Amino acid sequence: MDSTSKKTNKSLTLSKFLEELRGFILLDDLTKIGDSEKRTICRPEFGQLGLLFLRYFKNYKGGQFYITENQSDSYYYNLSYEKKEEFLSSIKHLDIPAFIICGKKPLKKEIELFKKYNFPLIYSYEKRIETINKIEIYLNFIFAEKKHIHGVLMDVLGIGILIKGKSGIGKSEVALDLLERKHRLVADDLVVAHRRSEFLIGYSLDSPYSHYIEARGIGLIDIRSLFGIQSIRHKKRIEILIELIKGDDIDYKEFDRIRVKSLYEKILGIKIPKYIIPVTYSKNLANLIEVIALAHIANIMGESPINSINESIAKSPKSKVNTSYIDTFYFISDNE
């Protein structure tokens, strides 16, 4: 097992949520209940406000935000004070981390009401659609499935290439070779892969050593200071997986040399094209990886060598009598 996986099953506290979103979206805690460290958000989606009004609590799962706006949720705003109180008391057993309110700022009386039933009320200075969008992006990032992979992630000609292999096989050396050819480093040794819908985003763990490479015989190399800012990148979509294997470990009887069938590996449920490269002496791995990236770009554009060979075979006439005649005639008449 070269890499290890862990499904993130974590929850986020409300205080951390407010702190980390500061600067990204302007939020104001109106009620200031003061127990935001204990309140947890367990789900990256928002609750349905209408179901609360209907008092439909079947299959209710706690830990969701509710977003309201005074225009679209006019049902609530048209209620009388007593009815509002009745509504809040009917949902007070639910585990709701906070209500987020957009649009007009609520009155003091209303804030007191939420305080009484122990529901934090957070006011957003932005429009409802933008608030939802930004909070969703943040929550999806926090609750995304993550996996830590031992390997090197490089950006080669705009294609994110993850190089894997046993320790000591020469991953870091290949990365240095690629850096020499003006490609960019994303992460060495510890790559965090994180699923965003159908894509896999790779980056390095946030630490002072995030753009370092460790090569045997040299030690730690600070890529940013040696190769400049152009040689690093913070995150990149992982599109190709390359596995380096010792040349002696490969069974050439089973090794597919032409790649008639494409090889894939699933990472967090996403199929990534995989290439296995046997490592032997006198092999220029950086060059091979560059060619793989080029072939991948060509593949995206619809050019595949196997397809074009198949097409040309399909186009050629079945009987070869005529053509062979032309060929011989050509050779006879050609004086050169």
Partner 1 sequence: MRKQFVVKNRHGLHLRPATEFVKLTSNYNGEIILKKDDVEVNAKSILGILSLGIEFGTKIIIELIDKDDEKFMDQLKAFFDKKE
**Helix, coil or strand: residue 46:** strand
At its nearest, how many Å lie between partner 1 and the CB of residue 146?
Answer: 8
| Residue number with CB closer to partner 1 (6 or 61) | 6
* Binding residues with partner 1: total (CB under 8 A): 22
Nearest to 243 by CA among 272, 266, 214, 274: 274
**Known active-site residue 171:** yes
Neighbours of 77 (CB within 10 A): 16
Quote the CA–CA distance of 25 and 136 in Å, as a whole number: 12
> Residue 223 in contact with residue 213, Cβ under 8 Å?
yes
**Single-letter code of the amino acid located at 155:** D
Q: Exactly one of 78, 207, 225, 312 binds partner 1 (CB under 8 A); which one?
A: 207
Q: Give the gyration radius of the chain's Cα atoms.
A: 29
Q: Exactly one of 22, 38, 116, 148 binds partner 1 (CB under 8 A); which one?
A: 148
Residues 248-287 within binding reach of partner 1 (CB under 8 A) = none
Residues 212-241 within binding reach of partner 1 (CB under 8 A) = 212-214, 220
Stretch that binds partner 1, among 47-55, 211-219, 273-281, 309-317 (CB under 8 A): 211-219
Catalytic residue selected from 43, 134, 150, 274: 150
Quote the CA–CA distance of 141 and 133 in Å, as a whole number: 12
Quote the CA–CA distance of 272 and 266 in Å, as a whole number: 6
Quote the CA–CA distance of 266 and 274 in Å, as a whole number: 9
188 forms part of the interface with partner 1 (CB under 8 A): yes
243 forms part of the interface with partner 1 (CB under 8 A): no
> Residue 119 in contact with residue 31, Cβ under 8 Å?
yes
190 forms part of the interface with partner 1 (CB under 8 A): yes
| Residue number with CB closer to partner 1 (106 or 165) | 165
Q: Which residues are catalytic?
A: 150, 171, 189, 257
Q: Kindly list the residues in this chain that would bind partner 1 in the complex (CB under 8 A).
A: 1-2, 4, 6, 8, 10, 148, 150, 167-168, 188-190, 204-205, 207, 209-210, 212-214, 220
